[in-house]
Amino acid sequence: MLRVLIVDDEHLARQAMRRLLANHSTVEIVGEAKGMADAVQAIARAAPQLVFLDIELGGADGFDLLATLERPPMIVFVTAYAEYAVEAFAVNAIDYLLKPVEPERLAESIARAERELASGAPPSSAAQGVIALKTRKRTVLARPDEIVALRADGDFTHVFVADQPALMMWRTLAHFEDLLPTPPFLRLSRSLIVNRDRLRRVETLSRESTRILMEGMAEPLSLGRTASARLRESLGGD
């Protein structure tokens, strides 16, 4: 039996997927989830082999979920938006279904998952830690170690990916604080998170001010007194 989890923030969408999957005798539905936190718990509890995953999860998205999983199961994205297909396959999803899901396409996805399991290979969706950084104009797929720093700007966050222009995203800094591993990511102030592994030089300008140079960023970052103290503490300084 193929152990399946359904993740979608819409109750009717989950019901519709259940009805479609009921026609497949080799599928066992081991649970469902309506959001990112529910999905993380359900995956840990039920250990599904395949997750039918909506991309838009009401404040988070399916790419965020994948980034939190050390060993993600096979993933089939299910969404009403065709424009995410490139990003979905970049993180090695085994298929991409558009809503409303057609029974024939669902059957193809299930057959593909069963072939993956029969091959004995690790799940092809295990693109660990890939984060989709989406703006209005483009999407950048980045590993956490490629992210240099993040700076808050109200409800937006400027994300600095190594050697790329800053991305302005409609996400709070707290969203990324939950998403990124600590260490190496350190929240130095209400408005700044840095990747300590990319720290290359610390310049103390005064008791009130410090400047840091980061690998992958052309311009230095300025720190106030509190942020400087937190950085020194994290580095084991006095």
Average pLDDT, the chain: 85
Residue 60's pLDDT is 75
**Which residue has better confidence, 25 or 238?**
25
Share of the chain above pLDDT 90, in %: 45
> Residue 80 pLDDT more than 50?
yes
Would you say the C-alpha torsion 11, 12, 16, 22 has a positive or negative sign?
A: positive
- The predicted structure's pLDDT at residue 237: 55
DSSP letters of 125-166? T--TT-EEEE-SS-EEEE-GGGEEEEEEETTEEEEEETTSPP
Label residue 6 by pLDDT band (50, 70, 90): very high
Q: What is the pLDDT of residue 14?
A: 95
Strand pairing report for 95-98 and 74-79: parallel
Least confident among 56-60, 120-124, 170-174? 120-124
Q: Which residues, other chains included, contact 200 with Cβ-Cβ below 8 Å and sequence gap of 6+?
A: 213, 214, 215
Give the Cα separation of 40 and 49 in Å (integer).
14
Tens digit of each residue's pLDDT (9 = 90 or more) over 138-197: 667 777 888 999 999 988 899 999 888 888 888 888 888 887 888 899 999 989 999 999
State the pLDDT at residue 85: 64
- Lowest average pLDDT, out of 116-120, 136-140, 212-216, goes to 136-140
Identify the helix (H) or strand (E) that includes residue 90: helix 85-90
Query: Global pTM?
Result: 0.58
- Is 121 a residue whose pLDDT tops 90? no
